[in-house]
Structures are given as structure tokens and as C-alpha cells.
Structure 1
């Protein structure tokens, strides 16, 4: 057994490091007024490269640490050195890069959407590594009063070491994948998910409208039956107000028009993904007023990363508005449905206008397509 003094040093270090990890977690969840640019780290090669290198190193250190925990006897000096390497090296560098926000006017290669995702993933990794640290503390505490030879970890301790190491590896792999894919892969994935949510809502709305005739026939059959059957099942009775009647022709026409327009919005997601998100520059240069030209908005003052953030926010808003639109139909509120449909279309056109020009501020095939798409959406 190692001297009790060495065990106590290990215990003290793990407790101090746990406090440090709590500080890391806080720094990765900044308040809206937090300005991290005042003491921004030196990231000459970009935050993605810095995080990738730190994650690779952390995964390697975690592997070594797990082997130390599984190999008897417990060696406090080796564990102390390894924990120090992680907390002062890999983790501190990773957290500094993830929490970095460029100062006003500085070049922004990532954009807010990527920085938020990086912070989420790094925060998960800090938490996962904290679970391993807690296990180190528990194993050290158990051996503090152990008399005799250390015969190695118990079956439960061995299981915990392997499970928690595996979790860290998995989170590291996800973070490395995010760094390798960069902004483009992230926004493409999110856009595809948003489009899927949108189309699911459209399909449900379409099916609800197609169920009109059958529900009306059922209602007529019930009306001709006995008084007891007029009310039918409790769910049918209270759900009857949420079905379009045969006389609600104007609402049915509006529903059909809405479904047609919403399908066109789904096509917009595909086009934006292929023609704009896939072509987003990995290291986006600032927009040049000389090449951007005049548009309906002051695009010259925005970097591509800022335009991308605004675009993704708009694409995220549209499915929520479609849900609101569906609710107005289910409540048979025609005027509200008209208003919500207009809102969806305006948001979709706003998304297209944001990236009407290329990331370098020039016209291209998508520029022409977007104009035709807006005309078709208005005519639908």
C-alpha cells in the first residue's frame, strides 16, 4: 500500500480539481452580458483546431488514467501527475477555446451557432471527466483506511472505471467529429432536422384535412340512430369541433393552399442547404462592401458568419410557426389561419433574402432561383 500521506495528497487534488471543473462548467454557460473577449485566449490556428488537439490529448490521458486505476496497487503519484496534465493542460485549453468570443469588429470564423454547439459538447465532456474524477476520489478514500496489500479494484470499481472511460471516449469522438465537420456539417444537419419537423407537421395537417368526408358520414349515421348513440364515444364528442365540416368550403380551400405553400417551403430548405449551407466557407472572410452591392437589407455590414446565424435562426423559427398554423386549423379559426400562413411565408421569404447573394456578395444560380421561388410561393 502507498503511504497514507500520498493517498491524502491524491484526495486533496481530486477535491481541488472538482472545484476547478465546476468553474469550467460556469464559464461555458455565460450570461447574456458576459464579455469573454476582454481576456480572450491566443488562438492563432482557430478554436476548432485548438479544441480538436485538446480533445485528442484528453482522450489519450483518460485511457492512461483508466489503466492506472485498473492496475494494482493504486499509485497516487502517477494519478496526481495525470490529473494535473488533464486539468492544467487539455481541459483548460479546451474550455478557453470553447468559451472564446471574438471582440466586436474582429474576424469571426465560426458564428454563434457553432460556438453554442461547441460549448454544449465541451461542457458534456467536462461533466463526463468529472465522473471519472469522482471515481478516483472514491477509490482513494476506500484505500485510505485499507490495511494490508492492495489487491486491485473490486469488480464494481472495475466496471465503473470501464463504463465512465467509455462515456468520455464517446463524448470525445462526438466533439472530434464536430471539429472535423466544422460549421458546414453542423448547419446542414440542423437544417435537415428542421425540414423533417416541418414536413411531418405538413403531413399531419394534410391527413387531418383528408379525413373530413369520412368523419361527416359517421356524424350523419349517428344522427339517424338512437339518442344514446348521438353522443357516441366521449373522445368523438369532444373532438368533433376539430373536424372540418362539408360546409366549411372556404377553410378547406385555405387548408389546401396552405399545404401547397408549406411543401414549397420544404423545397426551400433543400435548396438553401445545397446552394448555400454546403458552400459556406470554412474560414469565412468578412463581407466586402465593394462586392456585396445594394440589397433590400444592409448585408454589407455583416460577415458571412453573422448572415449564417441569422439564417439558421429563421429556419428554426419556421417549423414553430407552422405548428401555430396547424393549431388554428384544428380550432377552425380561419382568420387566424390566414394570418399564420402569411407569417410562415414571410419568414420563408426572409430566409431566402438573407442568402439571396452568395457568401462573397455576388449573384449566382441561386439568386435567380430564389426570385422565381418567391413568385411561385406568392402565386400558390
Structure 2
């Protein structure tokens, strides 16, 4: 009798210790970063490793989720699942993060995997914290998140963890090329949005025609309205006399923003979709014949992405300058925006084999078109 009651008690105490160990490990793993030591190279594919370990974490989380809500409550079974996580998948995912260094996988992919994997560690920690340590399965409220206790419930926590694991696993299929394409498309779409807003703003009529009729209005009321406009960011419109030539600047900017959007599309089609397999354990034959050294594809991609990322931010600042009818600021932001467009095209002017092609010719025409009329 004594031994039969002692065993469940021992299992529960063991479970408590394992939960504490796992929680501490997850906190530690959330700070894992890619190795900055270029000498630590391995033939292991970090994205494949991340996929496989995230898949195992997902499967183990499913088991764990079922064990904590179904009778009988078995601490030993839960303990086994947690120890398996500690022994294999979790260190494996951390190893994938460390292996996915920027020099081989691009800084963009390195940061993306790190961010997605850390999300897995965080959400697994949330599920582990839901494990009941009182020897009873979770109540319906704690399972569904419907009780007075704050939290989303174990079922919802499991679902969020599944999504985090799926996001990590997705990177294997997406690959470096796919990630670059996705980011370039996001930046292009932001520029498109800014262009559409500027078009709509340019079509709105100024209220200046009504100023003569309102000339007898109370001055204090006008000042109050100006203050309200500034407070709520009300946009000003191009006056009919347009002394600052804002309309001319707007038309020029719209044409060039359209060219920048075309540049994004050309880069995606002619460069990002034609990337050689990355990371490449061995250089493609046509490149290896020229030099055994890496031709700088990875560093080029990172540089191009940095330049492209700047363009939507500058475009937003350009739009703000138009709304404020600030001629000098418009000129400044236009120069910055189009300089970065030039830079992106110039970085990719040759194909990945170092040869001229259709994009090379297009890039030259693009640069000429951007200079016209400005």
C-alpha cells in the first residue's frame, strides 16, 4: 500500500524537477544566436536541421497537450516527453540557429531563422507552464482559457506553438531565394501603397479657392483650426498658384516611383528567381572554373536587401514632405529614394555568373529614365 502510493508521488516530484529544468533551458535558448566564427563551418544544412527539429517539437507538443487534459494523469509519461525534448529537438534547433550564420546563409536568413526559432522556444515555454503539478489533469477552464485565471488555455497555447513550428519548418521549402523574393515583394508593395496615396492626394482640390470668400472669418478661429489640423495631422493640399512648384515635383516623383516599382519587379524576376542554390556546399561549375573563392553572392544579396529596405522608409518621408508642401525636403527625399534605386540596380547589373544579360541592358535604361526631367 505504501509503495503503491509512493510511486505516483515520486513521479510527480520528478516531473516538477524536469519542468524546472526545461523552463530554465528554454529561457537560455531564447538568447541563442548564430555563430560569428567563420571557422565553425559544417556540411550540415541549418534549414534542414531546423525543419526536422521543429517537426519533432511539434509532435512532442501534441503528445504533451493530450497528456495534460486526459485522464488518467500520468506524470511519468509527461516526464518522458519533456526529457526527450531536452535531449534532442531543443538542442538541435539551437544548433540550427548557430549554424545558420550570415556569411553562408545571408544575414536575412540568419535573423529570420533566429526570430522564428525563438518564437518556438517562447511558445513551448507557455505550454510547459500550463502543465499541472498537483497530480490532476487541467480543468476545462484552464484547458479552454475560459476561467478567471488569465491566459489563453492549453489548447490555444498548443495551437500557437504549432504555428511557430510550422513557420520554422517552412524555411526549408522557402529557401534563401524565396525569403529574398518575399522581402523584395513586401518592400515593393509598400512603395506601391505610397504611390497610390500620393496620386489620391494630388487629385484632391485645394481649399485656397475658398479663401477669398472666407476672408472675413474670425482670425482667432482660423488659428484654432490650424492648431487642430497640426494636432491631427491634417494634410494640406497644393494651392492653385503653386509657388513652390509642388505639382511639378509630384508628377516627376510619381513617374520615378513607378520606375522604382518596375525595378523591384525586374530584380525579382531576373536576379532573385535565378539565384544558384544557397547555401552551396560547392560552387557551381561555371563559377568554380573561374575561381575557387565564393564570388560574393551572399554578401551581395545582403547589401541589395539593405538598400531595398531603405526605399519604402524614404518613400514615406517623401510623402510626408509633399503633405507639408516642403519643396526642399521633397527634393532631398527624392534624391535619396532614387539614389537607392540606382544602387540596387547597379549592385545586380551583372548576373550571378558575372556576365551581362537582359537585366544589364534594362538597368542601364532604367538609370537613364530616372535622370530625365529632374
Query: The TM-score by the shorter chain falls in which range?
Result: 0.7 to 0.9
Which residue does 1:193 correspond to in 2? 186
Which residue does 1:123 correspond to in 2? 118
Count of aligned residue pairs for this structure pair: 351
CA distance in 1, matches of 2:173, 2:294: 29
CA distance in 2, matches of 1:326, 1:350: 21
Structure 1 residue 87: Cα displacement: 1.8
Which residue does 1:133 correspond to in 2? 128
CA contact (8 A) 2:60 2:81 kept: yes
Q: Deviations along 1:141-182, whole A, 9 cap, x unmatched?
A: x22xxxxxx5x4321243333222211111112222222111
Which residue does 1:20 correspond to in 2? 25
Which residue does 2:72 correspond to in 1? 73
Task: Report whether the alignment pairs 1:35 with 2:36.
Answer: yes
Which residue does 2:300 correspond to in 1? 307
Structure 1 residue 280: Cα displacement: 1.8
Q: 2:238 aligns with which of 238, 244, 250?
A: 244
Task: Report whether the alignment pairs 1:234 with 2:225.
Answer: yes
What SS does structure 2 have at the residue aligned with 1:346?
helix
Distance of aligned partners of 1:363 and 1:290 in 2 relative to their CA distance in 1, 3 Å threshold = farther
Q: Which segments of 5 or more consecutive residues in structure 2 lack a partner in the other structure?
A: 145-152
Structure 1 residues 103-118: aligned runs within 5 Å:
108=104, 110-118=105-113
Q: Deviations along 1:20-65, whole A, 9 cap, x unmatched?
A: 111101124x7xxx73557x4x753410111111111111111122
CA distance in 2, matches of 1:67, 1:226: 72
Task: Report whether the alignment pairs 1:99 with 2:93.
Answer: no
Which residue does 1:222 correspond to in 2? 214
CA distance in 2, matches of 1:123, 1:65: 20
Structure 1 residue 302: Cα displacement: 5.2
Distance of aligned partners of 1:174 and 1:56 in 2 relative to their CA distance in 1, 3 Å threshold = same
Q: Pick which of 157-166 and 5-14 moved more.
A: 157-166
Task: Report whether the alignment pairs 1:11 with 2:6.
Answer: no
Structure 1 residues 1-380: aligned runs within 5 Å:
3-28=8-33, 35=36, 40=40, 43-102=42-101, 108=104, 110-136=105-131, 139-140=132-133, 142-143=134-135, 152-159=137-144, 160-211=153-204, 213-223=205-215, 226-227=217-218, 231=222, 234=225, 238=229, 242-249=236-243, 250-283=245-278, 285=280, 288=287, 303-380=296-373
Normalising by structure 2, what TM-score? 0.84
CA distance in 1, matches of 2:363, 2:102: 34
What SS does structure 2 have at the residue aligned with 1:3?
helix
Distance of aligned partners of 1:70 and 1:176 in 2 relative to their CA distance in 1, 3 Å threshold = same
Higher helix share: 1
Q: Deviations along 1:75-121, whole A, 9 cap, x unmatched?
A: 222212211111220111011111335497xxx1x211011010000
CA contact (8 A) 2:26 2:121 kept: yes
Q: Which segments of 5 or more consecutive residues in structure 1 lack a partner in the other structure?
A: 144-149, 293-299
Structure 1 residue 192: Cα displacement: 1.5
CA distance in 1, matches of 2:288, 2:339: 27
Distance of aligned partners of 1:8 and 1:219 in 2 relative to their CA distance in 1, 3 Å threshold = same
Q: Pick which of 241-250 and 317-326 moved more.
A: 241-250
Structure 1 residue 329: Cα displacement: 2.4
Which residue does 1:295 correspond to in 2? none
Distance of aligned partners of 1:228 and 1:374 in 2 relative to their CA distance in 1, 3 Å threshold = closer
Normalising by structure 1, what TM-score? 0.83
Structure 1 residue 289: Cα displacement: 9.4
Structure 1 residue 228: Cα displacement: 7.1
CA distance in 2, matches of 1:202, 1:103: 33
Q: Pick which of 304-313 and 318-327 moved more.
A: 318-327
CA contact (8 A) 1:37 1:101 kept: no
Distance of aligned partners of 1:375 and 1:103 in 2 relative to their CA distance in 1, 3 Å threshold = closer
CA contact (8 A) 1:72 1:153 kept: no
CA distance in 2, matches of 1:256, 1:324: 17
CA contact (8 A) 2:42 2:99 kept: no
